[in-house]
A and B are shown apart, each in its own frame.
Chain A
Amino acid sequence: MPDLGKYAVAVLSAYGASLVLILVLVLATIRRGARVRRQLREVEARQGREHG
């Protein structure tokens, strides 16, 4: 860990806030992608069965 001196709180909070925001964005993207994919698969399977 580098010595951040009197600016440790500023530097660490900038990195912490940014990484949390990026992580939330990535997780939200993956979660919504998985949910839509699952729903689409279900509807396609249901309609496939209905139409023979």
Chain B
Amino acid sequence: MSLWEYANPKKFMQTSAWVLPWVTGLAVLALLGGLVWGFFFTPDDYKQGATVKIIYLHVPAAMMAINAWAMMLVTSLIWLIRRHHVSALAARAAAPIGLTFTLIALATGAIWGQPMWGTWWAWDPRLTAFLILFLFYLGYIALWEAIEDPDTAADLTSVLCLVGSVFAVLSRYAVNFWNQGLHQGASLSLDKEENVSDVYWLPLLLCIAGFVLLFVTLVLLRTRTEIRARRLKALIARERLG
């Protein structure tokens, strides 16, 4: 069996219909479990006080904002190279989810920053890269809506996605590239010594799993809708022709 089988809309619809209930259930469990654990059962931080609880939303949302763009990059490349319609539609389906996660990351960051840094916003490299990523998401969605021909729209949005990937990478590594600004380094690392304490780390991991599963659930749902919308458009066009 080849991965490319899922580029067939019928195969994708069959497989996603089977997978969706499981992913949805796991997403709800992980997200609720992680947020309830983090909000109700973790102590205040000695420096940040209760604002440390914002980490359970901010970090997973920021990670998924970048990863959603990475997924769009991969599916856009598949479209450009192999012309599989499902991959272009999956990229389109992921954009509003990535936009929402970016907005959550920006909003929770600002709300946390006000009491901790004394400001809602700073033109710090990571914050600025994230704001530009947010604008790229808006541009990407607007471009899909603005172009009537779906293949042309897929081509142009794929190119925009390639360009925007620079800012997705910068959003992740800006802190390392420019060792300046207000934003601290990564909260999670494969290096155990650099991680946050276990008491925060475990519920945070559960929240990250919840956001990943929520993303997968919504991408599957929205891609199924895009496939149906494409078929609907084709049927209506055929009806008009005669």
Pick the residue among B35, B40, B111 that contacts A13 (CB under 8 A): B111
Query: Per DSSP, are chain B's interface residues mostly helix, strand or loop, or mixed?
Result: helix
B221 and A14 contact, CB distance less than 8 A = no
Number of residues from A at the complex interface, CB < 8 A: 33
* A17-B50 contact in complex given A10-B114, A33-B221, A40-B231, C-beta closer than 8 Å: no
Which residues from chain A sit less than 8 Å from chain B, CB to CB? 1-8, 10-11, 13-15, 17-18, 21-22, 24-26, 28-30, 32-33, 36-37, 39-40, 43-44, 46-47
Give, as a whole number of angstroms, the nearest-CB distance from A4 to chain B.
Answer: 4
Give, as a whole number of angstroms, the nearest-CB distance from A50 to chain B.
Answer: 8
Of all chain B residues, which has the CB nearest A39?
Answer: B232
Interface size class of B (residues with CB under 8 A): 35 or more
A40 and B232 contact, CB distance less than 8 A = yes
Of all chain A residues, which has the CB nearest B222?
Answer: A29
- Chain B residues with CB under 8 Å of A32's CB are 222, 225
Which of the segments B69-77, B100-108, B187-195 contacts the partner chain? B100-108
